[in-house]
Chains A and B, each alone.
Chain A
């Protein structure tokens, strides 16, 4: 089985994240780049499926040169090879542009199964897997907390507000995973050493037959008009419980008309 995992490098949420005032895009130099947390769950699930059903796991990422760190992390976990879509023309792409660029690349490299994290910690749009399914005409099996494959049939448990739906489709398919699905493994020393020798193919937009007019800031379907750092929340009232903490809290809620 040819499994492709889409991963994204994002600014570390533990550091201060910024937009670039020049073009209102993410400032990638302001914070350390790390693999998006849910992408680790996607890589883990791909490795599990490979271990159970055989095949090969390819990591696909779109991002600047420094996204190679994220590729190495996924390879160290056990993925077999990687494709890095990197081109200055891609800078500033929105979700539609990104899904278009990734779909074109996926058509080029082929897949039986594409796995993604359900959202990234930076943009948090949560739309990419659905967009890839739409663009590739493949079944959408998103928000999975469990994935089962039987021959060419795939069944997932899709997280819903009331519990979950069991959803079935035929391969090839697009899957997105939630954090509940597994426990991502840590790369072993052996894995880290082996990752250095694994093949990483670098593609530009021409290689992936991506139309420059549909990507980047100028090709995007939406744009950020302006932004402002949110004013910090005003310091609140902090009291120590002296046995009447609950009653005091009730008074506060009453003063705000919540009760």
Chain B
């Protein structure tokens, strides 16, 4: 069975959920091979990857990979594409994952598909474009298909793989080392799941009213084990940090559940959340366009409704 390369996303040595989703998807296409790039690989990581179906694990642990922007990962994958001749390469459709896919496509003279929400065994990808308005099926017609898959599009299911480990030495080109990371600055990380891969997202908008009031959004998110998002109006006002902005110029999220509190649902915002499976909206204005998308909408003051909802969620836990 042909290999399917899966680029592992990891933070502080921990495998991210999206990688387990990609391994699950890869099993439907061939034999999954996980590719670990950068330091942090451990027995625990190996066990996790094998648990979700990795038959092979390529490990390139060089610090150089983490210290330079994107290009080293593309060089590593290009080498493996040439040595393993995989049927496809899957990466997470995160900002960085897509950049790796883009560079890899050029290195291997291969087509790339971004933001896939499904992938058939004939390697036809489903994509949702124009803010969820049009569903497209597309395919790569030259080279090795490289597909960036959106987090939350496959439910991760464990199924043991052989987990055979293979160390890979990479000698990076000077070009790959051209952009150097000189400092990493963590901001407001907290214990919450990451926005783009969270199963539940609770977002606040203009109706939240102030930075302090975002605490009620955070409390609901924490009760649900959710990530916090914000509309552009809220980030522009400085109420919440920019990296949490959901929308056309911010992050695209596709969670199982999206709760929009005090968000009118301007096209800018809708473009970033419209593919959520279930949408709950809370807004004072019954004419707010967000209600056109909502599976469940409550017309009223979020400052009353959100704390009450939080309390109910805590009670039922």
Contact = CB atoms under 8 A, between A and B. Distances in A.
A230 B128 contact: yes
Nearest to B178: A139
**Which 10 A-B residue pairs are closest in the complex by CB-CB distance?**
A246-B308, A241-B300, A127-B102, A221-B111, A250-B312, A163-B187, A139-B178, A246-B309, A222-B111, A130-B99
Interface of A: 13-14, 16-19, 24, 37-38, 94-96, 99, 118, 121-131, 133-135, 137-143, 145, 155, 157-170, 173, 178-180, 220-230, 233, 236-241, 243-250, 252-254, 256, 258-259
A189 B229 CA distance: 39
Given A253-B313, A259-B317, A246 B102 contact: no
Interface centre among B135, B293, B294, B296 (most CB of A within 10 A): B296
A210 B148 CA distance: 28
A252 B271 contact: no
Most chain A beta-carbon contacts within 10 A, residue among B99, B103, B109, B180: B99
Interface stretch (B56-64, B66-74, B81-89, B207-215): B66-74
B1 interface: no
Contacts of B286: 238, 240
Nearest to B107: A134
A249 B282 contact: yes
A124 B110 CA distance: 19
Given A163-B186, A223-B139, A240 B180 contact: no
Contact of A127 (B101, B188, B268): B101
Interface string B215-248: 0000000001000000010010000001100001
Given A127-B112, A169-B180, 15 more contacts: A37-B249, A126-B99, A134-B74, A134-B102, A137-B175, A139-B178, A163-B186, A163-B189, A221-B110, A225-B139, A236-B293, A238-B297, A245-B282, A246-B309, A258-B200
Contacts of A99: 102, 106
17 contacts: A96-B112, A124-B252, A127-B98, A127-B99, A133-B71, A133-B103, A134-B74, A139-B69, A139-B178, A142-B69, A163-B189, A165-B181, A173-B179, A237-B296, A239-B296, A249-B305, A250-B313
A241 B112 contact: no
Interface of B: 11, 69-71, 74, 94-96, 98-103, 105-107, 109-115, 124, 128-143, 175, 178-189, 194-196, 200, 224, 232, 235, 242-243, 248-250, 252, 256-257, 267-268, 271, 278-280, 282, 286, 291-301, 304-313, 316-317
B111 to A, nearest CB: 3
B316 A239 contact: no
Nearest to A255: B296
A124 B130 CA distance: 9
A122 B103 CA distance: 21
Contacts of A140: 69-71, 99, 103, 178-179
B305 A241 contact: yes
Contact of A159 (B110, B112, B242, B298): B242
Contact of A96 (B111, B188, B297, B311): B111
Contact of B298 (A121, A228, A249): A249
B179 A166 contact: no
Given A145-B242, A256-B278, A258-B224, A239 B297 contact: yes
A220 B69 CA distance: 27
A130 B103 contact: yes
Contacts of B242: 145, 159, 178, 180
A147 to B, nearest CB: 13
A230 B136 CA distance: 9
A124 B129 CA distance: 8
B6 to A, nearest CB: 19
A131 to B, nearest CB: 5
Contacts of A158: 69, 181
Contacts of A180: 235, 242
A2 to B, nearest CB: 19
A249 B280 contact: yes
